[in-house]
Amino acid sequence: MTLASTGTYYIGITGIVLSTSSRYLSIDDISLSVSTLSLKDHQTDYGIKLYPNPVPSGTAFYVDAGQFEGHKVNLSITDILGKTIYSTTTQFDAYKIAIQPKSSFGSGVYFVHFDQDGRTVNKRLIIQ
């Protein structure tokens, strides 16, 4: 079976052997949801770049400001579950700025959100 990139699929399974004593379990319906998580779909990044990426835990990472240069920007970092773990408002006066959170994050995937007067950019950051 070929699955589309998103959607809901129903799968029926019957006749699973639980033991050698000829007992069977019948499962009538299993629901499988398939979805795609992507930050690139239908989004302008306004020239924002993060590096290094991946970044070692506890070290600064840098942001190329792109079209946000010269503007005050709300910046937040969320974990994979959507919990905000860092938030600040910064003035992008220089083309490149350093972001050094006061506490180090555990290794994993995080999302850096930039918002400036309705222009929003989301970038993935990997911390080692």
Look-up: residue for tokens 């240069």? Answer: 69
Per-residue pLDDT at 50: 93
Q: What is the pLDDT of residue 86?
A: 92
What is the three-class DSSP state of 112?
strand
- What CATH class has 49-127? mainly beta
Q: Give one word for 65, left, alpha or beta, with left for phi > 0 and alpha for psi -120 to 50.
A: alpha
Q: How many CB atoms lie within 10 A of CB 36?
A: 8
Kindly list the distances between the CA atom of residue 107 and the CA atoms of 81, 86, 110, in Å, as whole numbers in the listed order.
14, 15, 9
As a dihedral over the C-alpha atoms of residue 93, residue 98, residue 103, residue 104, rounded to 10 degrees, the angle is 150
pLDDT number for residue 3: 59
Residues 92, 105: Cα–Cα separation, whole Å = 23
pLDDT value of residue 102? 76
Domain segments of the chain as ranges = 49-127
Rounded Cα distance, 32 and 7, in Å = 9
Q: What is the pLDDT of residue 41?
A: 47
pLDDT < 70: residue spans in the chain: 1-43
- What is the pLDDT, as a whole number, of residue 11? 59
59 phi/psi in degrees, rounded to 5: -110, 160
